[in-house]
A and B are shown apart, each in its own frame.
Chain A
Amino acid sequence: MIELVTFNPEMLRLARDVRELTQTELSERSGFTQALASKLENGLIIHPSDEVVKKLVEVLGFPESFFCQPDRTEGLPHFHYRKRARLGSKALAHINAIINLRRMHITKLTRSYEIEIHKPIPSMDLDETGLTPEKVAERLRAYWMLPRGPIADLTQVIEEAGGIVVLCRFGTNLLDGISFRSAGLPPIFCMNREMPGDRYRFSLAHELGHMVMHALPDDDLKMEQEAHRFAAAFLMPATDIRAHLSVPKLSSLGRAKAFWKVSIKSLIKRAHDLHMITDKQYKNLMVGYSKAFKEGESYPIPVEQPTKLKDMVSYHLTKLGYSIADLARLLHLTADETQRAYTGLPNKGLRLVVSN
């Protein structure tokens, strides 16, 4: 008899969402009825048989311990990146599951890992302070003592301020990233790794804007617009970027992109927002842009690589003497998946659903 102290129905649902399976698909692959799957997920059966547990382990690719850990899943944060409206519920459930899994891993990894932060990610409520998103961006740059001009590595800046940035495979390009604060954890930024580096930077700055300005929920559209304005001002301060927006041509903006590491599109938008081009010029540039960059923009920017999570894993493996098997037990993953997700080593086996 496999000893399951308490079967946690939330973990079953989480595992199923991570693997993108419906209850029907799970029951078909496992060889038991959907009714059983439903009862397990709803907590009506708290001591499933050995055979059922064995099948769940086999089909879902998580060890037995995963299903009886006492963790709770959390819902998506109250703010989120654009395009979410077009996301299907299944894709959203998958993303939520990945984020929950990451959060649970980070919780476990931070227990033995000290993070020393000198200047954390602050909170500046717009209503309380009376600041605009642009002013918040300006003050944050000043607080973090960032030099003028482009931010060379935004991920590093955020991680030095205590944030943990995680590159995830969301399996869709309809969501760029999600950030949240969870009890006892540093701010976490889960970013879709399947996007160009310039878009990644803007999305990360957008999420940073949410973290700084939106501690409490507000109107969704308003928060999105504020986060966008923050991101634009944070990555492209008006005083510094003006000189590079003075020639409203795609070629000049392309060269500016290589320097500022933001998309040509966001440069066009910034030029318009700063009233450096007329509405007509803006329209013409966007038309030209659409024609020229159907296959993606020129001057590709590499996606920044976060290091904090890798450092935490490395700390466990080297300083604390964990083996891969130990780490797998800690995270309630299989050894194969632990290696794939956290050590970057090539591996065979189940498809990659979590990765760095």
Chain B
Amino acid sequence: MDEENIEQTEAMAFLKPLLVPLHEGWHAAHGVYQEYDPRHTADHDDTAAANCIRCHMWAIVQNQMDGRRGVILRDLGRLKLLNYYDRYVLRFKKVDGSGRHRNARTDQQDDFDRGDPLPGIPPKATRLTSGYQPSIAGDAIQRILIARIAGKTVLWLSQINVVDAEAAWTDITPARLHGTSRVDARFRKKGDPRR
């Protein structure tokens, strides 16, 4: 088991109490968007749709998870974060099947990915992405994911499945050639968040 696998297993075990609420939250947020009047959604591009769903998700997180033991919510403008026991910090994004998000990058997002200081966020906390992968037509959620992203590299990727109100996760990290690191060299030079 390599370093990333250990970290992934630890993280997913620690985050277990959040997995069902996150899974349900994304589905609920997506469901709200699907109830929009089609005359309005027809005007939306993918970014607009993702923004709407993310806003609903953030509202659901605020309503249902704020005040939970270990949960601290931080709203840094465009970056909405959930701090869990100062060990993990999650942001909320639409992602693709490999766990990556495709929005235009901002300094704030780069800082988050690099593990650079952000106001109110413990520097040692591991930065994660709670994401959903929409179906190709955008009318359904294909997968709910937790991703550990460093720069443009996906260190590990977990798919959350909920059956009978019990959450389980599956490692779906994109395969890499044997012997190659999951973090590209360029990114390590700039600042590996695991240093």
Scoring A residues 271 to 301 as 1 if CB is less than 8 Å from chain B, else 0, what string do you get?
0000000000000000010001100011100
In the complex, whether B42 has a CB less than 8 A from a CB of chain A is: yes
Q: Which one of A243, A254, A255, A256 has the greatest number of beta carbons of chain B within 10 Å?
A: A255
**Known contacts A247-B45, A249-B46: A254-B137 contact under CB 8 Å:** yes
**Known contacts A247-B45, A249-B46, A252-B45: A258-B38 contact under CB 8 Å:** yes
Asked if B138 contacts A259 (CB within 8 A), the reply is no
Q: Which residues of B contact A255 (CB under 8 A)?
A: 38, 41-42, 44, 49, 138
In the complex, whether A105 has a CB less than 8 A from a CB of chain B is: no
For the complex, what is the distance from the CA of A244 to the CA of B42, rounded to whole Å?
Answer: 6
In the complex, whether A309 has a CB less than 8 A from a CB of chain B is: no
Scoring B residues 7 to 49 as 1 if CB is less than 8 Å from chain A, else 0, what string do you get?
0000000000000000000000000000000110111111001
Q: Which residues of A contact B44 (CB under 8 A)?
A: 252, 255
Which single member of B39, B43, B136 contacts A251 (CB below 8 Å)? B136
Nearest CB of chain A from residue B115's CB, rounded to whole Å = 32
Q: Which residues of A contact B140 (CB under 8 A)?
A: 298
In the complex, whether A260 has a CB less than 8 A from a CB of chain B is: yes
For the complex, what is the distance from the CA of A297 to the CA of B38, rounded to whole Å?
Answer: 16
Q: Which residues of B contact A298 (CB under 8 A)?
A: 135-140
Q: Number of B interface residues at 8 Å Cβ cutoff, please give it.
A: 16
In the complex, whether B134 has a CB less than 8 A from a CB of chain A is: yes
Asked if B38 contacts A244 (CB within 8 A), the reply is no
Nearest CB of chain B from residue A286's CB, rounded to whole Å = 13
Q: Which of A227-251 contact B (CB under 8 A)?
A: 243-244, 247, 249-251
Main secondary structure of the interface of B (DSSP, over half): loop
Asked if A244 contacts B49 (CB within 8 A), the reply is no
Asked if B46 contacts A259 (CB within 8 A), the reply is no
Asked if A259 contacts B139 (CB within 8 A), the reply is no
Q: Which one of B46, B135, B139, B140 has the greatest number of beta carbons of chain A within 10 Å?
A: B139
Asked if B45 contacts A299 (CB within 8 A), the reply is no
In the complex, whether A264 has a CB less than 8 A from a CB of chain B is: yes
For the complex, what is the distance from the CA of A249 to the CA of B137, rounded to whole Å?
Answer: 8
Interface size class of A (residues with CB under 8 A): 20 to 34
Which single member of A244, A249, A250, A293 contacts B43 (CB below 8 Å)? A244
Closest to A241 in B: B42
Asked if A258 contacts B46 (CB within 8 A), the reply is no
Q: Which residues of B contact A260 (CB under 8 A)?
A: 42
Which single member of A251, A288, A293 contacts B46 (CB below 8 Å)? A251
Scoring B residues 128 to 162 as 1 if CB is less than 8 Å from chain A, else 0, what string do you get?
00000011111110000000000000000000000
Asked if A288 contacts B136 (CB within 8 A), the reply is yes
Asked if A259 contacts B39 (CB within 8 A), the reply is yes
Q: Which of B102-129 contact A (CB under 8 A)?
A: none
Asked if B43 contacts A254 (CB within 8 A), the reply is no
Nearest CB of chain A from residue B188's CB, rounded to whole Å = 34
Asked if B137 contacts A250 (CB within 8 A), the reply is yes
Nearest CB of chain B from residue A302's CB, rounded to whole Å = 13
For the complex, what is the distance from the CA of A258 to the CA of B45, rounded to whole Å?
Answer: 14
Asked if B134 contacts A251 (CB within 8 A), the reply is yes
Q: Which residues of A contact B41 (CB under 8 A)?
A: 255, 258-259
Q: Which residues of A contact B136 (CB under 8 A)?
A: 250-251, 288, 292, 298
Q: Which residues of B contact A252 (CB under 8 A)?
A: 44-46
Asked if B134 contacts A258 (CB within 8 A), the reply is no
Q: Which residues of A contact B139 (CB under 8 A)?
A: 254, 298-299
Nearest CB of chain B from residue A239's CB, rounded to whole Å = 15
For the complex, what is the distance from the CA of A158 to the CA of B41, rounded to whole Å?
Answer: 28
For the complex, what is the distance from the CA of A243 to the CA of B40, rounded to whole Å?
Answer: 12
Q: Which residues of B contact A247 (CB under 8 A)?
A: 45-46
Scoring B residues 50 to 89 as 1 if CB is less than 8 Å from chain A, else 0, what string do you get?
0000000000000000000000000000000000000000
Nearest CB of chain A from residue B134's CB, rounded to whole Å = 7
Which single member of A149, A243, A259, A297 contacts B137 (CB below 8 Å)? A297
**Known contacts A251-B49, A298-B140: A259-B42 contact under CB 8 Å:** yes
**Further 6 A-B residue pairs, CB within 8 A, beyond A258-B42, A259-B39, A298-B136:** A244-B43, A254-B137, A259-B41, A264-B137, A292-B135, A299-B139
Q: CB within 8 Å of B: which residues of A?
A: 149, 243-244, 247, 249-256, 258-260, 264, 288, 292-293, 297-299
> What are some 29 contacts across the A-B interface (CB < 8 A)?
A149-B39, A244-B42, A247-B45, A247-B46, A251-B46, A251-B49, A251-B137, A251-B138, A252-B46, A253-B137, A254-B137, A254-B138, A254-B139, A255-B41, A258-B38, A258-B41, A258-B42, A259-B39, A259-B42, A264-B137, A288-B136, A292-B135, A293-B137, A297-B137, A298-B136, A298-B138, A298-B139, A298-B140, A299-B139
Q: Which are the 7 A-B pairs with shortest beta-carbon distances? A: A254-B137, A259-B42, A298-B137, A258-B38, A251-B138, A259-B38, A298-B139
